[in-house]
Amino acid sequence: MISHWLSARLARHDIYYGWAVVAATFLTTLASAASISAPGVFIVPLEQEFQWSNAEISSALSIRLLLYGLVAPFAAALINRYGMRNVVISALTTIVAGLTLSLFMTEVWQLILLWGIVVGTGTGMIALVLGATVAARWFVKRRGLVVGLFAASTATGQLLFLPLFARLTELYSWRVATIALCILMAIAALSVLLVVRDRPSDLALRPFGGDGSEPIAPPPIETSITSSALNALRDASQSRTFWVLFFTFYICGASTNGLIQTHFIALCGDYSIPATGAATLLAAMGIFDVIGTICSGWLSDRYDNRWLLFWYYGLRGLSLMLLPFTDFTLYGLSLFALFYGLDWVATVPPTVRLSAATFGPERANLMFGWIFAGHQLGAASTALGAGISRTYLASYLPAFFFAGLLCLIASLAALSIRRDKRPAVA
């Protein structure tokens, strides 16, 4: 197989094969994230073509957002049972099938089924759980950096492609943009098929930085997929650390996907900023996010992860509360995009590290799957709450102040986690 050949070639240059797995996974999460954000660009074209209401279209997007999180713990159980490569290929195939069939839809129920349920389930099978699995299994040292890379690809994929899809939709149609997205997903599937292996032991390797004490193979899994996921939740519910991480990650989702990603363009529209300009600002946040999240991964390998979460949530809260005072000028919004973008998902690496330290590398993906479900519950509730604020209070600003306050509460809650051991670095 190509993985054995590539592993031998990389070893000659003293390059660990796990980095090739990271590269293929990075492309996969990037493509999956693009499929999450792309439908937001298609709302107006769908309204114009099918005369569907914004509420009808948004219902499909809300279902997709919710499933993106709720499927995650069950996806982790599937990965543990059937292997990363098999699950990822199935997920990408599901997403492409849903997107392809959507090219021929004519009724709103088809939109809800394909973009809501099918694409939501497919993306949820990958999500951040895949990155957490790769980091926990393939790396002992540099684990935080690897998680940072995957978190950056997820957030950046949701933002970076927006201008491209908007441009393709403007020049051609939303169908052309959807076909381009399917091609990206197919390339990612090919890279996974050729490169990704489930564990280092599949290639007679140890995890990067491992001392040989790691088990060669995991214990056999005898329970069903549903039982594995629910048993993990039962065990996690007895841990105070789990509930603190669940609560803080709920606020993370509320202050990112649920608020900025969902409503930022509409918020800018209230201040006469065109949608293309707002989408460009979101893309800029995605670029800054790559820098911030990778740096966060590097820091989480070296410093107390509780204090990192304290600073990340605290600074994010302040930025959200100060946004209304930018006067929504180009200069003010550019500064916000820089500052907020650096902190977009910087919380992910320390959260994953704390999960792995608390529950162990083999169960880290299951536990993080439930923590990530909290993230998406926060995203879904705030997406709705901000919409209610805009409808009944004629302003998004109360939602931004409230989200900022929640972030400040999360920063204090993070310090209540039991002190993690400072990892050794090479």
Distance CA 101, CA 293 (A): 35
What is the model's pLDDT at position 426? Answer: 37
Question: CB-based contacts of 229: which residues, under 8 Å, 6+ apart?
Answer: 73, 74, 76, 77, 366, 369, 370
Domain boundaries, the chain: 2-198+231-414
What is the model's pLDDT at position 186? Answer: 92
With DSSP H G I counted as helix, E B as strand and the rest as coil, what are the percentages for the chain, rounded to 5?
Answer: 80, 0, 20
What is the model's pLDDT at position 313? Answer: 95
- Cβ proximity of 201 and 7 under 8 Å: no
What is the model's pLDDT at position 317? Answer: 93
- Cβ proximity of 162 and 282 under 8 Å: yes
- Cβ proximity of 32 and 94 under 8 Å: no
What is the model's pLDDT at position 175? Answer: 92
What is the model's pLDDT at position 334? Answer: 87
What is the model's pLDDT at position 422? Answer: 42
What predicted TM-score, i.e. pTM, was given to this entire model? 0.73
Distance CA 331, CA 232 (A): 47
Residue 230 burial (10 A CB sphere; 0-12, 13-18, 19+): middle
Q: pLDDT tens string for the chain (426 positions)?
A: 677 777 778 888 888 888 999 889 988 988 888 887 777 678 778 878 888 876 677 777 778 878 887 887 788 778 888 888 899 999 999 999 999 999 999 998 999 899 889 998 998 888 777 877 888 888 888 877 787 777 777 666 766 777 788 788 888 888 999 999 999 999 999 999 988 888 888 888 888 876 665 555 555 455 667 777 778 788 888 888 899 999 999 999 899 877 887 778 778 888 888 777 887 888 788 788 878 888 888 888 888 899 999 999 999 999 999 888 888 888 888 889 888 888 877 888 888 888 878 887 667 777 877 888 888 888 878 877 887 787 788 888 898 999 999 999 999 999 988 764 444 343
Helix ranges restricted to H, 261-396: 262-270, 275-300, 305-322, 330-342, 348-359, 364-392
Residue 399 corresponds to which amino acid?
A: A
Residue 407 corresponds to which amino acid?
A: C
Distance CA 325, CA 333 (A): 10
What is the model's pLDDT at position 1? Answer: 62
What is the model's pLDDT at position 342? Answer: 85
Q: Rg of the chain over CA atoms, in angstroms?
A: 21
Token digits for 265? 């363009």
Class for the domain spanning 2-198+231-414: mainly alpha
What is the model's pLDDT at position 421? Answer: 46
- Give 139's strand partners: 208
